[in-house]
């Protein structure tokens, strides 16, 4: 008789634990209380996705993420941002650590094998950043015999070196800030990556007036919002939010606020093509 009571109690406790797990430990980018949304962004890209020293989040991608979250029904206090380094974006999405990622996330077939995308919401292009008083670099071929800087592992730098300016003296450093220092000190002649990222750095207060974008379009980089593969409902809702953001003027305002100080000339908002 006692054994039966103990067994019944164990079953009851196990059932309760499972119920609590289902409620509180839900993944899919929600907080433990189920009413928050976790969004992956970049923390180190001024103008696009930046966590400031006082803990605030700024940038065009951040503005897009906030707008989409609001359209999904989440108020500002229910949004939680999580750092999403380039190499970790697919894992964060697949594991349910974030609901979606908005972080200079170029849509391509390799990534689409692992995650789905909504958008695109922005068309970026690879460009060059040079000193404001430098008029010797106006086209990519001018990089031949010049010192070109980019970050270690950058596909942008290899694109220039292998295809566009094979005689360029390519130097790779640990971060964009190091390249900027080298550019300012004339240790290098140009920095290359997506124009949006370059514009963000050039627009920082401490850098204003020091650098300029050459204004080239060395590649097409359609930025999309990454989400779990097969979640067509979420994809559809995010696409609707992006379309609304374009139509009500919020998209253009976000571009001007975040990239305008660097005189970045953005392409018009792209047509949304990633649909279920």
Give a yes or no: residue 276 inside a domain: no
Give a yes or no: residue 105 inside a domain: yes
Contact 179, 150 (CB under 8 A): yes
Give the count of beta carbons closer than 10 Å to the beta carbon of residue 78. 16
Domain match, 149 and 208 both: yes
Give a yes or no: residue 21 inside a domain: no
Domain match, 118 and 247 both: yes
pTM (predicted TM-score): 0.79
Q: What span, in angstroms and rounded, lies between the C-alpha atoms of 257 and 202?
A: 14
Instruction: List the domain range (segments joined by +) for residue 203.
Output: 126-213
- Domain count for the chain, please give it: 2
pLDDT recorded at residue 34: 60
Domain end (from 175, 190, 213): 213
Give a yes or no: residue 13 inside a domain: no
Give a yes or no: residue 274 inside a domain: no
Domain match, 134 and 156 both: yes
pLDDT recorded at residue 156: 82
Give a yes or no: residue 167 inside a domain: yes
Domain match, 101 and 226 both: yes
Alpha-carbon dihedral angle through residues 67, 201, 82, 88, given to the nearest 10 degrees? 120
Q: What does each of the 276 residues of the chain score in pLDDT, given as a tens digit?
A: 444 444 444 444 444 444 433 443 344 454 444 689 999 999 988 999 999 999 999 999 999 999 999 999 999 999 999 999 888 999 999 999 999 999 999 999 989 999 999 999 999 999 999 999 999 999 999 999 999 998 876 778 778 888 899 999 999 888 788 899 999 999 999 999 999 989 988 888 888 899 999 999 998 999 999 999 999 999 999 999 999 999 999 999 999 999 887 778 899 999 999 997
pLDDT recorded at residue 245: 98
pLDDT recorded at residue 157: 78
Domain end (from 174, 196, 213): 213
pLDDT recorded at residue 18: 40
Domain match, 48 and 90 both: yes
Domain match, 140 and 177 both: yes
Specify the DSSP class assigned to residue 161: I
Contact 183, 86 (CB under 8 A): no
pLDDT recorded at residue 205: 86
pLDDT recorded at residue 161: 84
pLDDT recorded at residue 7: 45
Give a yes or no: residue 16 inside a domain: no
The domain that holds 174 is classified in CATH as: 3.40.190.10
Q: What span, in angstroms and rounded, lies between the C-alpha atoms of 186 and 93?
A: 41
Contact 49, 108 (CB under 8 A): no
Q: Which residue's structure tokens are 């999405």?
A: 93
Domain match, 57 and 94 both: yes
Give a yes or no: residue 112 inside a domain: yes
- Cis-peptide, bond into residue 120, ω within 30° of zero: yes
Domain match, 146 and 204 both: yes
Domain match, 130 and 208 both: yes
Specify the DSSP class assigned to residue 249: T
């Amino acid at each position: 008789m006692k054994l039966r009571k103990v067994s019944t109690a164990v079953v009851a406790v196990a059932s309760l634990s499972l119920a609590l797990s289902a409620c509180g430990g839900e993944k899919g980018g929600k907080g433990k209380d189920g009413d928050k949304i976790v969004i992956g962004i970049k923390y180190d890209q001024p103008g696009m996705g930046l966590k400031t020293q006082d803990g605030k989040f700024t940038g065009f991608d951040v503005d897009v993420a906030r707008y989409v979250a609001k359209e999904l029904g989440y108020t500002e206090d229910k949004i939680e941002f999580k750092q999403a380094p380039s190499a970790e974006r697919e894992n964060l999405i697949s594991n349910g650590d974030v609901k979606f990622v908005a972080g200079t996330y170029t849509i391509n077939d390799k990534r689409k094998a692992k995650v789905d995308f909504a958008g695109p919401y922005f068309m970026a292009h690879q460009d060059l950043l040079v000193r404001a008083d430098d008029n010797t670099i106006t086209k990519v071929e001018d990089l031949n015999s010049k010192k070109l800087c980019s970050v270690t592992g950058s596909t942008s730098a290899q694109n220039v070196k292998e295809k566009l300016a094979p005689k360029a003296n390519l130097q790779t450093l640990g971060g964009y800030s190091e390249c900027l220092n080298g550019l300012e000190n004339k240790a290098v002649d140009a920095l290359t990556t997506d124009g949006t990222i370059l514009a963000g750095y050039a627009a920082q207060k401490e850098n204003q007036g020091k650098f300029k974008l050459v204004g080239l379009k060395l590649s097409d980089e359609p930025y999309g919002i990454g989400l779990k593969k097969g979640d067509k409902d979420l994809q559809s809702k995010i696409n609707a939010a992006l379309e609304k953001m374009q139509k009500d003027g919020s998209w253009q305002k976000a571009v001007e606020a975040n990239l305008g100080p660097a005189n970045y000339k953005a392409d018009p908002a792209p047509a949304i093509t990633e649909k279920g």
